[in-house]
């Protein structure tokens, strides 16, 4: 009896951590809905060397693949306030991508890969400029849901 009880105990102990690691959550477009505030930081290549970038922003995400928002950025002391619209894609494994278009006179387009954390309350991103992009920025951001009641 002692041997079988020990074997059962060992089996449960070995299986238990696996059960804790099992992913029981699937993500979709609906995982992200509401207002998210964020900070970003990074660098870009310029003709004179590395340029420091940083800023804050807000996205309103509709749960159907659409984003509206604005950012305030600081690039080596030059401050820009830029409205934007965009789209996002979410995979079942809670990864995805974001594409935004800036609506100011400067214009432009930016893309990011993302991972969703904390049951959709947080998003982490990294910029994904296309190959050969001029002055590609390496930017990382952490977005946090502003209001948990929505």
Model pLDDT for residues 44-68, shown as the tens digit of each residue = 988 888 999 999 999 999 999 999 9
Residues 6+ apart with CB under 8 A from 124: 114, 115, 117, 140, 141, 142, 143
Quick one: pLDDT band at residue 80, thresholds 50, 70, 90?
A: very high
Considering the entire predicted model, what is its pTM? 0.81
**Rounded-to-integer distance, Cα 135 and Cα 51, Å:** 9
């Amino acid at each position: 009896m002692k041997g079988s009880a020990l074997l059962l105990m060992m089996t449960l102990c070995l299986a238990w951590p696996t059960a804790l690691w099992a992913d029981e959550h699937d993500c979709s477009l609906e995982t992200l809905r509401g207002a998210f505030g964020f900070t970003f930081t990074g660098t870009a290549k310029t003709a004179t060397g590395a340029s420091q970038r940083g800023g804050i922003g807000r996205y309103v995400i509709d749960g159907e693949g659409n984003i509206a928002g604005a950012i305030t950025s600081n690039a080596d002391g030059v401050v820009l306030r830029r409205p934007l619209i965009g789209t996002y894609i979410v995979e079942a494994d809670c990864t995805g991508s974001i594409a935004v278009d800036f609506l100011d006179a400067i214009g432009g387009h930016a893309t990011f890969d993302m991972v969703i954390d904390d049951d959709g309350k947080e998003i982490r991103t990294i910029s994904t400029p296309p190959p050969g992009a001029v002055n590609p920025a390496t930017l990382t951001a952490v977005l946090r849901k502003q209001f948990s009641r929505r």
